Amino acid sequence: MALIDAPPLTPLPPAPALLSVSDLEVTLFTRAGQLKAVDRLSLEVAAGETLAIVGESGCGKSISALALMRLLPEPPAKITGGSVRLAGRDLTRLSEGEMQRVRGKDLAMIFQDPMSALNPVLTVGRQIVEVIARHDPASHRAMQARALELMRKVRIPDAERRFNDYPHQLSGGMNQRIVIAMAIACQPKVLVADEPTTALDVTIQAQILDLMKELQAETGMGLIIITHDLGVVAETADRVLVMYAGRKVEDGTVDAVFDRPLHPYTRGLMGATPSATLQPHGRLAEIPGSVPALADLPAGCAFNNRCPIAFARCFAERPGLTMPAPARSVACFAVEQEGVRHGDPVGA
């Protein structure tokens, strides 16, 4: 296999990337100065593939998603570098008008809170129809029929009756289904889901995740799931990208990353997740301290003040991404120097 020439992050077997982001940079212009909310982030998503972006609050995962959609709140945030290529087109160079035609049609997004993503004074059916009308206008009757079909597709029971309901008359899970129906209405190439199940109960979360997987299998769209929950990552993703303080610190296939997390932060996250530990009443591995604010990131590696294995170099320079294995990258000096034995227990 010509792995040498293949783009480094494509999984095996290599598939052509639908969406490829390279060196994306988002800067926040604040009174405290210019802060890099997203720092040289690169990622790729192939058709039918699910990429999970995982990290804690403030790591830049949601801002990255908004940047892909060109939905950043400007000011204070602004894309200051890099490119977002969707099927070969660089979205960062499109005009706002062109971008509006891409949004919802080629690239769709689901938000965390379905209630605030829907307009409370319009019926859910009408809101789906509006999305269709914007990108794919047809006769009113035809669009209504398609909206109904979409509602059935996302498994809304009694779709005909629900069509004329308002968001407040539906449960959180049902509303999230409506949001998904709107997102897939025009068969997007890539769907970005920002914490799509965080506001939902476990049993409903399982339903929604199943639904998203099914729809993906059916349409072959690329899926980016942004989450803080390693359980959701394990259940849904093909590949995972771990972010910390606006940077990618590790990525790889889920199996590879969960089997052998390389970055101390990834290892810490896994040790701190109760369901990943063995002893029901044992101590969870802690990551000391808390996520630093963007305004006071430490010099050198941003994780150095919480890292159990940090050494002098970590405080002096920022580690760049290295590739310890094919389709795997990590930003850590300890890994670079083989300081971490592969297969070390999580959180040790």
Binding residues vs other proteins (CB under 8 A): 30-32, 56-57, 76, 171, 173-174, 201-207, 209-210, 228-235, 237, 254-255, 258-261, 268-293, 296, 305-306, 343-346, 348
Question: How many other β-carbons are positioned within 10 Å of the β-carbon of residue 296?
Answer: 7
- Closest to 67 measured CA to CA, from 31, 107, 106: 107
Tokens of 225: 């799931």
Measured over all CA atoms, what is the biggest interatomic distance in the chain, rounded to whole angstroms? 68
Taking the complex as a whole, the smallest distance from the CB of residue 181 to other proteins amounts, in Å, to 17
Q: Which is nearer to other proteins, 82 or 347 (CB)?
A: 347
Quick check: 159 and 83 in contact, CB under 8 A? no
Q: Which is nearer to other proteins, 14 or 76 (CB)?
A: 76
Q: Which is nearer to other proteins, 139 or 279 (CB)?
A: 279
Taking the complex as a whole, the smallest distance from the CB of residue 234 to other proteins amounts, in Å, to 4
Taking the complex as a whole, the smallest distance from the CB of residue 216 to other proteins amounts, in Å, to 15
Taking the complex as a whole, the smallest distance from the CB of residue 344 to other proteins amounts, in Å, to 8
- The angle formed by the CA atoms of residues 227, 28 and 73, to the nearest 5 degrees, is 70
Tokens of 263: 């970055």
Taking the complex as a whole, the smallest distance from the CB of residue 339 to other proteins amounts, in Å, to 18
Beta bridge partners of 193: 110, 225
Taking the complex as a whole, the smallest distance from the CB of residue 114 to other proteins amounts, in Å, to 14
Q: Which amino acid is it at 3?
A: L
Question: Which residues, at least 6 apart from 149, have a Cβ–Cβ distance to it below 8 Å?
Answer: none
Quick check: 242 and 260 in contact, CB under 8 A? no
Taking the complex as a whole, the smallest distance from the CB of residue 332 to other proteins amounts, in Å, to 17
Q: Which is nearer to other proteins, 210 or 317 (CB)?
A: 210
Tokens of 61: 């995962």
Q: Which is nearer to other proteins, 73 or 137 (CB)?
A: 73
Taking the complex as a whole, the smallest distance from the CB of residue 253 to other proteins amounts, in Å, to 9
Q: Which is nearer to other proteins, 16 or 289 (CB)?
A: 289
Quick check: 34 and 8 in contact, CB under 8 A? no
Sign of CA pseudo-dihedral 323, 327, 331, 333: negative
122 half-sphere exposure, CB direction, 13 A CA radius: 13
Length of the chain: 348
Q: Which is nearer to other proteins, 102 or 334 (CB)?
A: 334
Question: Which residues, at least 6 apart from 61, have a Cβ–Cβ distance to it below 8 Å?
Answer: 53, 54, 55, 194, 226, 243
SS3 content of the chain, % helix, strand, coil (to 5): 35, 25, 40
Q: Which is nearer to other proteins, 32 or 145 (CB)?
A: 32
Q: Which is nearer to other proteins, 118 or 185 (CB)?
A: 118
- DSSP, res 301: S
